[in-house]
Structure 1
Amino acid sequence: MALPETPTRFIFFTGKGGVGKTSLSCASGLALAEAGKTVLIVSTDPASNLDEVLGTPLGDQPTAIAGAPGLYGLNIDPEAAAFAYRERMVAPYRGLLPAAAIASMEEQFSGACTVEIAAFDAFAKLLGDDAATAAFDHVIFDTAPTGHTLRLLTLPSAWGDFIASATGGASCLGPLAGLETQKALYGATVAHLADPKMTTVVLVSRAEGAALREAERTRGELADLGVTNQRLALNGVFTAPRGEDAIADAMTLRGLEALADMPAALAALPRSQTPFLPLGTVGLTALRQIAADTAAEATPAGPAPAAAFPSLPGGLEDLIDEIAAAGHGVVMTMGKGGVGKTTIAAALAIALARRGHRVTLSTTDPAAHVAQAVDGTVPGLTIARIDPKVEIAGYRAEVLEKAGKNLDAAGRAMLEEDLRSPCTEEIAVFQAFARTVDGGKDHFVVLDTAPTGHTILLLDAAEAYHREVLRTRADMPEAVRALLPRLRDPGFTKAIIVTLAEATPVHEAERLQRDLARAGITPFAWVITQSLLASGTTDRLLRQRGAYEAPFIARVATELAKRTALIPWAA
């Protein structure tokens, strides 16, 4: 069976970035609509590409998908949701309070904290308010990469616990002020998530070790939250006759080994399996092909014409030479989930260390796998991770020590209540991020950053963080004060965009580059990973996939990037 069973009204697709959540959620929604159901597909990903896959521009209201009667799409745009939330909270006071007071309120409702609360508020209404989705037989959530998804799914309990423990309503200044009135909605959201008759969670994975480990971690954490109606969807499973091609043999063997080592609890879940498709999954025709359960219906195979690509970009060596010449600084790998940021970050860190430099390899990704990407000990290389739980505990203790020591009992209780807010995590993690970047003054720091949407929210949080930290503390760490200038300094920070040679990852990377430009950051280079075109494969389907890559490689190398490296898929 190519698509997972979707018997409940609410269906979540979740998993490691790049495993195909959007493709499978859209294919499932299309299949339900063509079976006569009315279906709404919702993206909760800050870096959504739902519009592109469905072929219809989407907004924050259900939009009919062209060519698919009964199918609708909706994006929960965090920035738009934050603007609407801010206006809802501030508008009643316009004309009643002085302009300076209004400006102060607007400032309190700025930054990542408001973005997250607003996005959750929109999500909770769709899941917890039956009237909001009464017109639909099914509501499918195409969720963000795993770390963001887990945080999103735990927010109902987090906000509920925060509100329940508050002695005088939500004391957190600014964004949390409107939460008290939402208790009933959040309670219904929690109930719907945990009701197996209402909600199914589809864990999407590739037949790869890292993706399956992520799926198992998600399975366990969701089960702990009471969400037990789970299914496993294996996507892009490739099999080829043995002995005909080294690349095809390696890809087949990796998949078989990963499935054989699958954790028992994950293997016990009801399972669907979608075959490897050599072309992209953008548009309704491609989505229907997923449901067809065969790769044979693809366009006839054939290599990329030699004239289309007289020379492919080289590997990482030239980039490493240029980075190493500076002697110190920060390197950030950035891009859509699943494109290989961790692998490239590890490769860069190891190469710099082997050239005699002192290097720290770290990650800000909630779903960190950076330690697994380094095989053995490399002299001069230190591996670190910004762990949200550790940073939150340290931040709370520091704020209570510095800002709470002179408060009376009531004031200290209010501060402690403020620090129980889930917003605290963004602040704590950002401080750790700034400290890590500070290390680039005297050695190399290589940061394997989170998937695109999370990364941009993190970077955008800098100035909001400056304001927020001043609200609870009398001083600001120098590392935080210097962070944005350092990120904007091309001599200090090298931002490397990592992508696959496919439509959605390249378009996503383009958006990332535009967002970075607005933040005053110019990418140093683009790296295209896992290229079958450059692999030398002779397998029919893999050669077809390689031919599909050619125009995307050309566009990156000639139009988008100042420097380009191409990494072949390696056996």
Structure 2
Amino acid sequence: MHSLFNPKKMQLTPFLFFTGKGGVGKTSTACATAVALADQGKKVLLVSTDPASNLQDVLEVELTNEPRAISAVPNLYACNIDPEESARIYKENVVGPYRGKLPDAVLATMEEQLSGACTVEIAAFDEFSHLLADEKILDQYDHVLFDTAPTGHTLRLLQLPTAWSGFLEESTHGASCLGPLAGLEGKKEMYGKAVASLADREKTTLLLVARPDNSSLLEADRASAELKAIGIDNQLLIINGLLQTHRAEDRVSTAFYNRQRAALNKTPQALKQIMAYSLPFVSYSLTGIGNLRYLFSSSAVSASVIEEPSVKMDELPGLNQLIDDFSEKNTRVIFTMGKGGVGKTSIASAIAVGLSEKGNRVHLTTTDPAAHLAYTFQGSDAQDNLSISSINPEIEVERYKKAVLETAGSGLSAEELAYLQEDLESPCTEEIALFQAFAAVVEKSENEIVVIDTAPTGHTLLLLDSTEAYHKEMSRSTGDVPENVKKLLPRLRNPEETGVVIVTLAEATPVLEATRLQEDLKRAGIDPKWWVINQSLAATDTTDPVLRGRASSETKWIAEVNNELASKCAVIPWLHEEKIGYEQLKEFSL
């Protein structure tokens, strides 16, 4: 098994970037590493650029975008850059000059194009790039740690000359996340130095943080390959939250342990070539300097750190009550939404089976590979009331990109075409392509309840909607939004027809990111009524001291979701075995 990650025993580069899926423990790992290095006498700066950052919660101090000395840790300084605010300023710098000169519909399109994750990321990169480009920084600090790294997509865009031109001011393909970098004029040289620092093995190490589960490891593999392709190849892998031992008499503990090992055995081959370390699954919440120091300490955590769960789990609804609610209201389209790894596919499958068992005709579709649904329903006989399909993201995205390139790409120079091709690699492109595929499924299923695993964000919905208005206003588009998409947008906003289920885990980052997702959807006129807290240890009867300790830390987030964030909240316990096949899914849902 992997060696334990311990920065006290390693020679680390000056710049350390922690990256990975939401909820894998990037912030806690970065904070614990920063504390350990500072305790060794190194002068350390810890910087977060995560929109859902809980850096100040972990360190238990108030932070701003200016470095602040952490009194409990001599030599440690931290700042919490707000990329959302940076993105707002960036967006206004781009759109502001056109106010009063272009129609409101055009301005709305421009603003929405600049409201996506890519714009937030480029604005965050602007904030920390001066740290990478300024040689004086390394005179002030021995190490600078970044909680969240830029993606290969963003870095490739920055390296393309057209990104710095006015090309997108004339572009009509309507897919851009960034727009021209007019809001960042004069910074091209600094960005070049920053990208060069990222690729310098003597200066920078990329730490890929993953959980011992399949989706997290696949994401780490994708990020690794994407960043290696542009020269950032000094990488380490940290498997976070690995249960070290288990109680044979405890079914939850045993299943937890075995499932993690099974996932590690399926680690992608390319990821196996990277030096890998692990961090233990701990019984306590990784907040506060004392607990952060425990992570790399040989001493055991004191029993006083572990508290018994206080939330009355039996008073919260289960999945069966969510299914009853949708059935009674005759909801026709149901989306499950949330970050990868929270269990959307399992929840969507159980909802579909539960509604089918109530006599409804149901169609279940997903963007997960077909093998996943085939695996989930393996050994199941065909059901009269349930049909299943799988949308292949790669096929749909390639089809969409081909259509855009055939229209918007006509007549472009080689440089402009290169920008357009890279621009189409953005997450928004995939969402729009998949949304069009979903719209086609829904249109063909007027007589069925349609359950859709993975849905577009509010940003994508608004982008499609404003693009439609833009087409009407300017009449210079490469083509109209498909008719089935136009019909589905208002349908999604109609609570009598559509229900959105936000799936999360009872942990800081998944809840914070789900909160942002809900705000995003509300901005688009969609109000989710149900949240599902999945895989809850607090809802189990485990006697394992490590798992029970973690269960107690969940109750804070369960209470926040139930009392403040969700209109209705269902809690599903961590299951000691996967629910495979129709009959088990039926048992799970009823």
TM-score, normalised to structure 1, is 0.81
TM superposition shift of 1:78: 4.2
TM superposition shift of 1:372: 8.0
Residue in 1 aligned with 2:169?
Answer: 173
1:7 aligns with 2:12: yes
TM superposition shift of 1:114: 6.0
Alignment partner of 1:496 out of 487, 496, 501: 501
CA distance in 1, matches of 2:478, 2:309: 59
CA contact (8 A) 2:506 2:534 kept: yes
Alignment partner of 2:343 out of 340, 343, 347: 340
Q: What is the 5 A alignment of 1:498-517?
A: 498-517=503-522
Deviations 1:312-371 (A, max 9, x none): 4242112123324566633222345543334323332444456563423224x9x99965
Residue in 1 aligned with 2:173?
Answer: none
Residue in 2 aligned with 1:362?
Answer: 366
Letter in 2 for 1:376: Q
CA distance in 2, matches of 1:368, 1:31: 44
TM superposition shift of 1:200: 0.8
1:320 aligns with 2:326: no
TM superposition shift of 1:497: 2.2
TM superposition shift of 1:483: 4.7
Q: What SS does structure 2 have at the residue aligned with 1:549?
A: helix
Q: What SS does structure 2 have at the residue aligned with 1:110?
A: helix
Residue in 1 aligned with 2:574?
Answer: 569
Residue in 1 aligned with 2:423?
Answer: 422
TM superposition shift of 1:232: 1.7
Letter in 2 for 1:332: F
Q: What is the 5 A alignment of 1:529-568?
A: 529-568=534-573
Alignment partner of 1:24 out of 19, 26, 29: 29
Letter in 1 for 2:168: C
Letter in 2 for 1:153: G
CA distance in 2, matches of 1:6, 1:525: 48
Deviations 1:290-327 (A, max 9, x none): 2325653453656546xx62834242112123324566
CA distance in 2, matches of 1:465, 1:69: 52
CA contact (8 A) 1:133 1:139 kept: no
CA distance in 2, matches of 1:42, 1:328: 45
Deviations 1:50-73 (A, max 9, x none): 333233444444454464444344
| CA 263–559 in structure 1, closer or farther in 2 if over 3 Å, else same | closer
| RMSD over equivalenced CA pairs, Å | 3.9
Larger mean Cα displacement after TM superposition, 15-24 or 501-510 = 501-510
Letter in 2 for 1:487: L
The runs of 5 or more residues in structure 1 that have no matched partner are none
Residue in 2 aligned with 1:432?
Answer: 434
Deviations 1:464-499 (A, max 9, x none): 444666653353333443454333221222121223
| CA 276–222 in structure 1, closer or farther in 2 if over 3 Å, else same | same
Letter in 2 for 1:154: H
Residue in 1 aligned with 2:44?
Answer: 39
Alignment partner of 1:487 out of 489, 492, 498: 492
Q: What is the 5 A alignment of 1:297-308?
A: 297=302, 299=304, 303-304=308-309
Letter in 1 for 2:332: G
| CA 448–190 in structure 1, closer or farther in 2 if over 3 Å, else same | farther
Alignment partner of 1:382 out of 376, 380, 388: 388
Q: What SS does structure 1 have at the residue aligned with 2:274?
A: coil
CA distance in 1, matches of 2:398, 2:226: 20
1:130 aligns with 2:130: no
Q: What SS does structure 1 have at the residue aligned with 2:93?
A: helix
Q: What is the 5 A alignment of 1:23-102?
A: 23-65=28-70, 67-89=72-94, 99-101=100-102
CA distance in 2, matches of 1:325, 1:564: 17
The runs of 5 or more residues in structure 2 that have no matched partner are 171-178, 577-590
Letter in 1 for 2:221: E
Larger mean Cα displacement after TM superposition, 295-304 or 536-545 = 295-304
TM superposition shift of 1:176: 1.0
CA contact (8 A) 1:231 1:271 kept: yes
TM superposition shift of 1:529: 1.5
CA distance in 2, matches of 1:85, 1:513: 23
Alignment partner of 1:240 out of 245, 248, 264: 245
CA contact (8 A) 1:275 1:295 kept: no
| CA 139–551 in structure 1, closer or farther in 2 if over 3 Å, else same | closer
TM superposition shift of 1:7: 0.9
Q: What is the 5 A alignment of 1:285-304?
A: 285-292=290-297, 296-297=301-302, 299=304, 303-304=308-309
Paired residues in the alignment total: 546
CA distance in 2, matches of 1:352, 1:297: 47
Q: What SS does structure 2 have at the residue aligned with 1:542?
A: helix
CA contact (8 A) 2:46 2:144 kept: yes
Deviations 1:96-116 (A, max 9, x none): x88335978855641244652
1:254 aligns with 2:259: yes
